[in-house]
Amino acid sequence: MASLISAILLSLLLLSNVNAYPKHGFSLELIHRDSPKSPFYNPCETSSQRMRNAVRRSARSTLQFNNDDTSPNSPQSVITSNRGEYLMNISIGTPPFPILAIADTGSDLIWTQCNPCKDCYKQKAPLFDPKQSSTYKKVSCSSSHCRALEEASCSTEKDTCSYKISYGDNSYTKGEVAVDTLTIGSSRLRPVSLRNVIIGCGHDNTGIFDAAGSGIIGLGGGSTSLVSQLGKSINGKFSYCLVPLTSETGLTSKINFGANGFVSGDGVVSTPLVKKHPATFYFLTLEAISVGSKKIHFTGTIFGTKEGNIVIDSGTTLTLLPSKFYSKLESTVASTIKVERVQDPNRVLSLCYRDTSSFKVPDITVHFKGGNVKLDKANMFVEVSEDVSCFAFAANEQLTIYGNLAQMNFLVGYDTVSRTVSFKRTHCAQM
C-alpha cells in the first residue's frame, strides 16, 4: 500500500512536466564513440581494439541475482557509444550544468559525480557542484521521492535520503538523493527543461567507469528512470537504433521518445514485454534460437518463470545464456563453420575463427514469443584481432541478457503502455 501511495504522489509531482515536450515527441542524436565526429575518437585504435574493449566491459548492468518524423521543434541531445556503452549529453541544475553519462536500459536512477567527492573515479570534465544550482534540493526521508527509490536509505539524525547502487562489474555509486531541473538541449529552439527530476548526487563512486563519463542516465522501467519521469508526455514509448561498433562513418542515428519512438512499417516484429520483479528490467520471453534449419528450444528459468526469461539491455555488450543452452548453441554453430578454429587472443570468448575470405557464418534467428529476429554476421561475430572473429554470445549462470551487439542495426522500440518491444532491421547510421 505504501509503495502504491508513493507511486501516486510521484505521478502527481511529475504532471507539471507533461506539456513540456512537443506532442510528436523528441529525438536525441546518436553518435558512435569511434566516429570521427565523436569527441572520444582515437585514430590510433583499430576496429578490433575497439571491439575488444567493448567485450571486456560487457558486465555493465545493475542486474544482481547473486523516415524521420521528428518535429522541427524537437529538443536534441547527443548519445555517444563509449567502449560498448552509449553516452548522453544532458544538463542538470540552474544554471544548466552539462554532463555526459551512460544511457542504460539496465538502470533506473539518473546520477552524476558531485562535489565534494570523497572517493570518485577520475573524470575529465568538471564535477557537478550542487551548491551552484538554485533548483537543487535534498530529499528528506519522509518524502515520496525517497520512498520511490528502492536503493534508498535514511539517516534519521540528518533527515537525509541516501542511495547506493552496485553494478554487475562490482562498480558502485553512493551519495544523496535530490531533485533538480534536467535540461535537454535543442539544436533549433530553446532547450526544454524537466523540473523536480529525482537524481543521485554521487559522492563515492568506484569501479570501471570511463573518465569521459560523468555518471548514468537510467532508462529502465522503474519509477525513477528518465523514461518514467518523462511521464505521460511520451506515453511510455521510446526507441533506439545502435550504430555498429566497427562503424567508421560520421553519420548519426537517434534515440526517440514519445510518438517518435513508435516502430512501424514493413519488417517489424514484436514480442510481449513481461511485467515482473525487478521493475527496472525489460523482460522478454525467448522460446528458441535457430541455426540454419536446426531449432534449439530454450527452457531457461533463471528468472523464476518461463515467461520473461531474458532481459534486453543496451548496456551489456554480449548476449549471455545459461551454460547448458549455450553449449548446444555453440556446438551447433561450430558444426556449420568449416574454417580453422582458433583461441581468442584475449581468452574471453570461446568460439573463434581465423577470419579469412572463406569464413562463412550460418543463418541465426532468435525466436522471441510472437516474433522472430534474424541476425546478420555483425550481430553474431565480433572481430577481436586483425584476423580473428569470435561468437558474440557467452555462457553465464547468473544472467540471461540479450545484449547490444545483437541489437546493432535494428530499430528497437519499447512501448511500456501496450507492453511490447519491437524490432525492425535498419541501417542505423543513415537514420
Tell me how far CA of residue 171 lies from CA of 61, 168, 203, 210, 390, in angstroms: 10, 7, 14, 11, 27
Q: Are 373 and 267 in contact (CB under 8 A)?
A: no
Contact 17, 195 (CB under 8 A): yes
- In a 3-state reduction of DSSP, which class is residue 98? strand
- 301 burial level (CB within 10 Å; 0-12, 13-18, 19+): exposed
> 405, 392 in Cβ contact below 8 A?
yes
Torsion angle, CA of 401/244/267/320, rounded to 10 degrees? -10
**Inter-residue contact 93 to 112 (CB < 8 Å):** no
User: Which residues participate in catalysis according to the annotation?
Assistant: 104, 313
Burial of 94 (0-12, 13-18, 19+ CB in 10 A): middle
C-beta atoms surrounding 146 within 10 Å: 22
Residue of 165, 82, 106 whose CA lies nearest to 314: 106
